[in-house]
Amino acid sequence: MAEKLKNKVTDGFQKDHPYGELPPCIHVGILNFNQMISPNYYHKFCLMDEKTKEIYSRKFQFHMLELKKLKYAKEKQQRKPLYQWAKLIAAQTWEELEQESKGNKYMERALEEMIKISQDEMERYLYLREEMAESDRVSQMQSAKRIGRKEGKKEGEILKLIANNV
């Protein structure tokens, strides 16, 4: 685990660049239990010296959603996208998922993906086969265009040579 974290933190590191240019390392915890005493469903933490309260770095962030606390969210919080996504994540039935995602194209797309990955093995295989066939078709078209352009360029060069020698 520490090795995985180390690799993610240092992925953006380049020789001769200051450490401050490293991309942030962000942990997102989605809990189906209450960890914190606060009634808030969302918490953001950073590393800080306990004694001086000085923040070590904003590059290391910990974000936590406590799904059990969503019912305590105030009306203003309920209008925020984070709350709406948390409600989608917390949904227990397909009806709840449909209700929470309705009218939001990103959430509707997420729901489509959730439905796909929850299908039985044969349905998932057929779906993936369709997706792969479409990707194959697009790749074949791009390849054919590239070959066609290359051949057209060669023919154009030959015609140009003939025209210059006539």
Tens-digit pLDDT profile for the chain (166 aa)? 445 554 555 666 677 777 777 788 899 999 999 999 999 999 999 999 999 999 998 888 999 999 999 999 999 999 999 999 999 999 988 899 999 999 999 999 999 888 888 877 777 777 778 888 888 888 888 888 988 998 999 888 888 888 888 7
Q: Judge if 67 and 83 occupy the same domain.
A: no
Extract the tokens encoding 54: 């000085």
Q: Residue 6 to residues 14, 31, 95, 109: CA-CA distances in angstroms? A: 14, 24, 41, 32
Residue 164: inside a domain: no
Same domain, 99 and 59: no
C-alpha dihedral over 62, 66, 67, 69, to 10 degrees?
-140
Query: How many domains does one find in the chain?
Result: 3
User: Based on the domain organization, do 65 and 97 belong to the same domain?
Assistant: no
Residues 109 and 133 placed together within one structural domain of the fold: no
Query: Do 11 and 67 fall within a single domain?
Result: yes
Domain-located, residue 163: no
Shared domain for 67 and 1, answered yes or no, is: yes
- 3 state SS of 101: helix
Residue type, 67: L
Exposed e or buried b per residue across 112-149, where buried means at least 16 C-beta atoms within 10 angstroms of its C-beta: eeeeeeeeeeeeeeeeeeeeeeeeeeeeeeeeeeeeee
Same domain, 53 and 87: no
pTM above 0.75, yes or no: no
Cβ-contact 70, 76 below 8 angstroms: no
Phi then psi for residue 149, to 5 deg, are -65, -40
Which residue type, as a one-letter code, is found at position 13? F
**Which structural domain, as residue segments, surrounds residue 88?**
78-118
Same domain assignment for residues 68 and 92: no
